[in-house]
Amino acid sequence: MHDRARDAAVTAPAADASSGEPLLVVDRLVAGYDKSEVLFGVSLHVRPGEVVAVLGHNGAGKTTLLKAICGLLRPRGGEVSFGGERITNRDTASNVEDGLVFSPADAAVFRELPVLDNLALGGFTERDGQARQQRLRDVLELFPILAQRERQVAGTLSGGERRMLSIGIALMSRPRMILLDEPSNGIAPGLVDRIFAQVRELARAEGIAVVLVEQNVRSALRVADRAYFMRSGRMILEEPADVALARGEWWDLF
């Protein structure tokens, strides 16, 4: 049953929060598939340059939340606003144009095309050719493996390489916010922390806001500013990432 008091445990902040206006505000979002409800009034906010981890058990609704934010899934209730504008139910293409991109866990790439063409497609919304080139240099610097494999057809990349390419495609659009669904998926443990550190740096240097959905809790908390914990379609806790990291053990929360 819908429990309003419990749902209100994590609520959207006032717009004039002292540490700056949030770029994304999700307010009591309700969403699901066919007859099944998955999100029961989920709220979160993210400021520019902030890395926010969203953590929770399998099936908690993390991916559903990202899809409902970016327009891949139509919310049944609640509101999403981005840059002060209400975007609930806005289509995904308009969200990308506006700088809100989703990078799915299953590494969405154009399998028939070489790495460079994949990245070019990611940057199609950038009309300035020079800016596009610069962006390409930035992405190849972030993921040097992609530079080594730039002529290789994406379908023949390893799983980890494909995941990096899919993040690269998302970054090519020069987003204001990136919703990263399990970026560590399929990536060797040694590389995960390096990629997360690069994501952190991107947020710091360019003010990109990041929502980081992860199974790899410790690695995510090390680079995040704040963390939200989800359980069965509800936000049960929001706290600074360093506080969550000090906890050391999170399974009781999941």
By the criterion CB under 6 A, which residues form the site for ligand ATP? 33, 36, 38, 56, 58-64
Indicate the Cα dihedral angle 87, 93, 98, 103, nearest 10°: 100
Which of residues 59 and 84 has its CB atom nearest to Mg ion in the complex?
A: 59
Nearest approach, Cβ of 49 to ligand ATP (angstroms)? 25
Picked from Mg ion, ligand ATP, none, the partner binding residue 19 (CB below 5 to 8 A depending on kind) is none
Which of residues 104 and 168 has its CB atom nearest to ligand ATP in the complex?
A: 104
Picked from ligand ATP, Mg ion, none, the partner binding residue 176 (CB below 5 to 8 A depending on kind) is none
Nearest approach, Cβ of 87 to Mg ion (angstroms)? 22
Which of residues 72 and 121 has its CB atom nearest to ligand ATP in the complex?
A: 72
Picked from Mg ion, ligand ATP, none, the partner binding residue 130 (CB below 5 to 8 A depending on kind) is none
Which of residues 61 and 175 has its CB atom nearest to ligand ATP in the complex?
A: 61
Which of residues 73 and 164 has its CB atom nearest to ligand ATP in the complex?
A: 73
Picked from Mg ion, ligand ATP, none, the partner binding residue 56 (CB below 5 to 8 A depending on kind) is ligand ATP
Q: By the criterion CB under 5 A, which residues form the site for Mg ion?
A: 62-63
Q: Are 233 and 41 in contact (CB under 8 A)?
A: no
Nearest approach, Cβ of 215 to ligand ATP (angstroms)? 6
